[in-house]
């Protein structure tokens, strides 16, 4: 698999439109392909039913309708090859441990530098 940014497809699931749009713009400028955005887990799962799945899902934890943890359970069951990167302002050890228990491939705090996100995305794909 070619793991250069231009070959990596990403979905961004976050309940804040500004966060989704800013992340999408920045990732696309780096050469990643953001192919999907959704405001909560249910909206994301609905979109997945009609579209090709991304390689990585960037998933917020705290969202209305269906939170990130519940969404991760569905993703691991139905799209086991999709990598999950939780990104959240809740970066306590309890949240990180819960994400790991659910099979997350990575976790990054929303206040981390953008360069850290880029490194994390590449590490996830390269295990």
Q: What value does the mean pLDDT take over residues 111-123? A: 87
Whole-number mean pLDDT of the chain?
87
Statement: residue 40 has pLDDT above 70: yes
pLDDT over 90 for what percent of the chain?
A: 48
Identify the DSSP state of 40: S
Which tens digit of pLDDT belongs to each residue from 73-83? 999 999 999 99
Q: What value does the mean pLDDT take over residues 56-61? A: 92
Band the pLDDT of 1: cuts 50, 70, 90: very low
Band the pLDDT of 100: cuts 50, 70, 90: confident
Statement: residue 2 has pLDDT above 60: no
Of 47, 16, 11, 31, which is closest to residue 110 (Cα–Cα)? 16
Give yes or no for a contact between 90 and 61, defined as CB atoms under 8 angstroms apart. yes
Give the chain's domain count: 1
Instruction: Print the domain residue range for 97.
Output: 5-125
Give yes or no for a contact between 63 and 41, defined as CB atoms under 8 angstroms apart. yes
The position carrying tokens 């993703």 is: 75
Statement: residue 43 has pLDDT above 90: yes
CATH number at residue 12: 3.40.50.2300
The pLDDT value given to residue 46: 95
Burial 12-37 (b: 16+ CB within 10 A, else e): bbbbeeebbeebbeebeeeebebbbb
**β partners of residue 109:** 88
The pLDDT value given to residue 90: 66
Q: Which of the residue ranges 34-43, 56-65, 89-98 has the most confident prediction, judged by mean pLDDT?
A: 34-43
């Amino acid at each position: 698999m070619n793991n250069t940014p231009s070959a990596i497809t990403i979905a961004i699931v976050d309940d804040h439109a500004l966060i989704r749009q800013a992340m999408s713009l920045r990732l696309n400028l780096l050469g990643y392909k953001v192919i999907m955005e959704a405001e909560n887990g249910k909206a994301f799962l609905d979109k997945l039913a009609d579209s090709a799945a991304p390689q990585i899902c960037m998933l917020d934890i705290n969202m209305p309708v269906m939170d990130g943890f519940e969404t991760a359970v569905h993703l691991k069951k139905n799209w086991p090859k999709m990598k999950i990167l939780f990104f959240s302002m809740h970066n306590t050890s309890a949240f990180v441990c819960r994400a790991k228990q659910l099979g997350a491939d990575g976790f990054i705090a929303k206040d981390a530098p953008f360069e850290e996100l880029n490194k994390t995305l590449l590490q996830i794909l390269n295990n």
